[in-house]
Amino acid sequence: MSNINVREAALDIVTRVGQQGGYSNLLINQTIHQKGLSQRDTSLLTEIVYGTIQRRDTLDYYISPYLRNQKKLKPWVLWLLYMSCYQLLYLERVPDHAVLNEAVEIAKKRGHKGIVSMVNGVLRNLQRNGPASLDSIEDPIKRLVIETSHPEWLVQRWVDMYGLEVTTNMCQRNLERSTMTVRVNTTRYSRNEIMTQLEKDDFEVRPTTLSPQGIEIVSGNIIQHPLFREGGLTIQDESSMLVGEMIDVEKGMKVLDACSAPGGKATHIAEKMDNTGSVYAYDLHRKKVQLVDQKAEQLGLTCIHTGQSDGRNLSDIHEEGTFDRILLDAPCSGLGVVRGKPDIKYAKTEDDIDTLSKIQRELLESVSRLLNIHGKLVYSTCTVDRKENEEVIESFLADHPDFEVDPAFFDELPYETKQLVGRTKWGLQLFPHDFDTDGFFLTRLQKRSD
Residue 263 is assigned to a ligand binding site? yes
Q: What is the mean pLDDT of residues 213-239?
A: 92
Q: What is the mean pLDDT of residues 219-238?
A: 91
Kindly report, residue by residue over 40-58, the tens digit of the pLDDT.
Answer: 899 899 999 999 999 999 9
Residue 407 is assigned to a ligand binding site? no
Q: What is the mean pLDDT of residues 167-185?
A: 94
pLDDT score of 157? 98
pLDDT score of 3? 65
Query: What percentage of the chain carries pLDDT values higher than 70?
Result: 99
How is residue 225 annotated by DSSP? S
Supply the residues annotated as catalytic. 382
For CA atoms 283, 288, 293, 296, give the dihedral sign: negative
Q: Which of 107-116, 215-224, 383-392 has the highest mean pLDDT?
A: 383-392
Beta-strand runs (E) in 267-416: 278-283, 304-308, 323-329, 371-381, 403-405
Confidence of residue 4 (pLDDT cuts 50, 70, 90): low
- The whole-angstrom separation of Cα 9 and Cα 32 is 10
Q: 239-447 maps to which CATH number?
A: 3.40.50.150
Kindly report, residue by residue over 374-412, the tens digit of the pLDDT.
Answer: 899 999 999 999 999 999 999 999 999 999 999 999 999
Write the CB contacts of 310 (distance below 8 Å, at least 6 apart in sequence).
Answer: 284
Give the start-to-end residue ranges of the domains of the chain: 6-129, 140-174, 239-447
Q: What is the mean pLDDT of residues 317-323?
A: 96
Residue 260 is assigned to a ligand binding site? yes
- The whole-angstrom separation of Cα 348 and Cα 24 is 15
- The whole-angstrom separation of Cα 443 and Cα 428 is 6
Longest CA span, the chain: 79
Residue 142 is assigned to a ligand binding site? no
The answer, as to whether pTM is greater than 0.75, is yes
pLDDT score of 255? 98
SS3 per residue for 108-165:
HHHCCHHHHHHHHHHHHHHHHHCCCCCCCCCCHHHHHHHHHCCCHHHHHHHHHHHCHH
Q: What is the mean pLDDT of residues 162-167?
A: 97
Confidence of residue 38 (pLDDT cuts 50, 70, 90): confident
Q: What is the mean pLDDT of residues 309-328?
A: 96
Beta-strand runs (E) in 258-365: 278-283, 304-308, 323-329
Mean pLDDT over each residue of the chain, to the nearest integer:
94
pLDDT score of 26? 87
**Which residue from 381, 379, 186, 383 is spatially nearest to 267, judged by alpha carbons?**
186
pLDDT at 1 > cutoff 70: no
Residue 96 exposure: Cα atoms within 13 Å on the Cβ side? 10
Domain boundaries 6-129, CATH class: mainly alpha
Residues, the chain: 450
pLDDT at 448 > cutoff 90: no
Beta-strand runs (E) in 258-349: 278-283, 304-308, 323-329
Please say whether the beta carbons of 147 and 132 come within 8 A. Answer: no
Confidence of residue 251 (pLDDT cuts 50, 70, 90): very high
Beta strand 304-308 pairing with 278-283 = parallel
Residue 259 is assigned to a ligand binding site? yes
User: Is the preceding omega at residue 95 within 30 degrees of 0, hence cis?
Assistant: no
**Which residue from 293, 267, 188 is spatially nearest to 232, judged by alpha carbons?**
188
pLDDT score of 2? 66
- SS3 call for 261: coil
How is residue 202 annotated by DSSP? T
pLDDT score of 178? 83
Kindly report, residue by residue over 49-107, the tens digit of the pLDDT.
Answer: 999 999 999 999 999 999 988 778 899 999 999 999 999 999 988 899 999 999 999 99
pLDDT score of 71? 78
pLDDT score of 392? 98
Confidence of residue 450 (pLDDT cuts 50, 70, 90): low
- The whole-angstrom separation of Cα 8 and Cα 338 is 24
Confidence of residue 165 (pLDDT cuts 50, 70, 90): very high
Residue 264 is assigned to a ligand binding site? yes
Q: Which of 2-6, 177-181, 335-339 has the highest mean pLDDT?
A: 335-339
pLDDT score of 21? 79
pLDDT at 195 > cutoff 70: yes
Residue 265 is assigned to a ligand binding site? yes
- The whole-angstrom separation of Cα 127 and Cα 145 is 24
